[in-house]
Each structure stands twice: as structure tokens, then as C-alpha cells.
Amino acid sequence: MAVIIWSLLMVVGIWADQLPVNPYQASSEVVNMSASVLWPFQKPAKPTQVDSEIPNEIVTTVKAEELYVKLARAITSEVTDNDGLECAFPFEAIGSMCYYFSDEQRNFDEASNLCASLSHGHNCEVTLAMLDYGSNEDQALLDAAAARETIFWVGGETEDNIHWKWQDGRDIYLQARFWGYGQPNNPGNKCTSTKVTMNINFIRSYIYATECMEPLNFICQQGCPFDFRRIGNYCYFLSHEVGLGEVHWQDARDYCRSLVVPEGYYADLAVLGLLGQDDYRLMYELVAQLPGNGAWLGAFAENECEYKWIDGRTLPTSSIYWVYDDPGCGSSDRVCLYNNISYNQTYLHDYSDSDTHSFVCQMFHYD
């Protein structure tokens, strides 16, 4: 009997040596790599806070897994925290957007209607949460969902199981990495939800096709103000989309500044070159469907040939955004975005403020 007990103790000892006394240290390579990929602008991690949760004694496999989950939550909290963004109750800031995670369960249509009902008090559209806003934004939302270890409805659906769309009309790219492995794969499941994958080293969330009548928790997303639409990380107001006529540059700017936007934000003429903007795509989307002769942007000549954006950044005359023979300098002191239909290309042109054009407003957050 003593020999048997001694043998068992030896096996347990060998197994215990395999367990990390401090899981934070053991998983730091994986966690740090994940954090840098998911959200490169996060605040520094606080290992002292995480370390305080780690017991000194050797823990069981179950306890070790619980500690890894706590680690994942701590990292997620750091990754998704955004000091610059303020969200009105009951929304919380994640990445560059505002979300509400429900405690109640509804089917897909009921969840969608409940989200829409939140629009009335926030001067903006509220829908089920959506993705495809960029890898950092998508990952921040999925991390927040995974940390709650709950299945949530998000706002994607299909009629034919081939063409999937988000609730704002954008196509869902079926090869996107946010889909779960092999998804979507069930012809009867026509709505999207987040589902959690747990591992001793990580916790992740993916999008799955789900039967629409299933009662689930849901995530609401605070979108752009009414008459604005989101392109990338920002909200834009296109004057021609709401039937406004062509105006002078200063009148366009005054109109943008008068627009009602959520608290903590303001509107002005749109600019290019901001962090998170895909300028080439943005320039095309802003004026691709615009009849006439282009749209005013928020840039002007401060001196004869020194152009600036309204936020004070320089717009170099050497920028490849300009059409080949602009800017003309001199009397042409306001900047317009123009789509050359013949070549299907967009460029910046400079015009006099005495000219009239459509215009594009953008919503900005107060620093």
C-alpha cells in the first residue's frame, strides 16, 4: 500500500509541476499578443491587480481555468475601455461605439424592436449590434460579449442563407474571420448571434447562424444621429441625401454646426486623414451617388496657397488627394470633393466661396 501511495504522490507531483504557479506569467505571451492585435491603443495592463487574484498555492485544473477566465476578463476590460468616449445610460463605451447588453431574453424580432425603442431618448438610431466596422472595432465588441459568457443576438439576418445583411443594409462578408468555424452552415438558421468558445488559455466569441425564434440576450448599438450614416468609424451627413440644395461654403459650415447630435459631440464640415478613416473608400462613398459638381469639405486656404483642415491640420498642396492641376491657389480658397464619373475617381478641387455645392457634415467627439 505504501508503494502505491508513494507512486500516486509522484504522479501528482509531476502533474503539479506542469501547472503554472502564476497563470498570468504562463500566459503572458498569448495575452499580450492578443491585446496588441485586438486594440493597439489600449491603456497599459495592470498586472499587479491581476496578480492579486492569483493564489500562491498550487490550484486544481478547475481553479486554474477560472483564473484564466478572470485574466481574459481583466484584459478585455483594459482593451475595451475608452476614456474619450462617453455613452448615455444604459449604453457603455466599447471601442469607438456605444452598446447596451441586455439582461433579458427575447427572440430576434422582439430584440430588434426593443433596441429600436431606445432611439427616442438618444437622438440617434439604435439597432441590434453589428460588425464589419474594422478589425479593432469588431474584436472589441466580441471580447466584451465573450467576457460575459452569454449568447447574444446581433443584427445580421438572411432570407436565402446565401446573402446575409446587417440591419443597416450592408452585406455581411461570409469569409470574415468573426464567423464561427464552418458558419453559417444550417439552412434553417437565419439570424446571427455571438457564441463563446472557452479554452484554458483564452476566451473568444464568434458569430453563428441561429434560429430566429430562440430567446436570447441581445446587444443594442447606438448608431449615428438621424439623417447621418456611419462610414467606417465616423458618422456623416450628406446634404444631397436629404434633398438640400447647393450652397456657399460658409453657409454649409453653419448648417453643419446647427445639426443636433448626442451630448458630448458636435458636427462640422467633414475632414479627411483622421485615425481610423479609410480615405480612399470614404472619398468615393461620400460623392459616388452625388449628382452635380461635388460637395464641400472642411478645408480652406489660410493664406494664398496654404491649405488647412478646419481642425487645424495642414492639407499639403502635394497631397495625392488633389486632382492633377489643383489647387489653383489665389482666389480659389475652399475645398470640394468631386467624383469624375468618366474615370470613376474622386479628387479634391479648390473653388471660390462664391461657388455653390452640396456638402458633407461629420460628427466629432469633444476632446
- Residue 222, classed as helix, strand or coil, is strand
pLDDT at 285: 87
- CA dist 156 → 77, 167, 183 (Å): 26, 6, 13
366 or 45, which is more confident? 366
> Which range has the worst mean pLDDT, 65-74, 81-90, 294-303?
65-74
Q: How confident is the model at residue 210 (pLDDT cuts 50, 70, 90)?
A: very high
pLDDT at 268: 97
- Residue 356, classed as helix, strand or coil, is coil
pLDDT at 123: 67
CA dist 104 and 97 (Å) reads 22
pLDDT at 221: 92
7 or 36, which is more confident? 7
pLDDT at 231: 83
pLDDT at 84: 54
What value does the mean pLDDT take over residues 258-276? 87
Model confidence at 49: pLDDT above 70: no
The mean pLDDT of the chain is 77
pLDDT at 345: 83
Q: How confident is the model at residue 9 (pLDDT cuts 50, 70, 90)?
A: very low
Phi, psi of 17 (to 5 degrees): -65, -25
Q: How confident is the model at residue 155 (pLDDT cuts 50, 70, 90)?
A: very high
pLDDT at 269: 97
Q: Which of 147, 111, 104, 117 is nearest to 129 (CA)?
A: 111
Q: What is the pLDDT of residues 113-124, one digit of tens each?
A: 999 988 876 667
261: left (phi over 0), alpha (psi -120 to 50) or beta: beta
pLDDT at 342: 73
What value does the mean pLDDT take over residues 197-224? 90
**Exposed / middle / buried, residue 192 (Cβ in 10 Å: 0-12, 13-18, 19+):** buried
pLDDT at 358: 94
Q: Which of 324, 331, 322 is nearest to 304 (CA)?
A: 331
pLDDT at 74: 33
What value does the mean pLDDT take over residues 232-254? 92
The residues, ordered by sequence, that sit 6+ positions from 266 with a Cβ below 8 Å of its Cβ are 257, 363, 364, 366
Q: How confident is the model at residue 45 (pLDDT cuts 50, 70, 90)?
A: very low
CA dist 165 and 154 (Å) reads 11
CA dist 331 and 103 (Å) reads 60
Greatest CA separation found in the chain?
A: 100
Query: Peptide bond before 291: cis, by omega within 30 degrees of 0?
Result: no
What value does the mean pLDDT take over residues 124-142? 87
- CA dist 17 → 14, 59, 65, 361 (Å): 5, 11, 16, 61
Q: Which of 360, 339, 338, 362 is nearest to 351 (CA)?
A: 338
Which stretch, 28-37, 192-201, 305-314, has highest mean pLDDT?
305-314
CA dist 165 and 212 (Å) reads 14
Q: How confident is the model at residue 190 (pLDDT cuts 50, 70, 90)?
A: very high
What value does the mean pLDDT take over residues 63-76? 36
The share of the chain scoring above pLDDT 70, in percent, equals 75
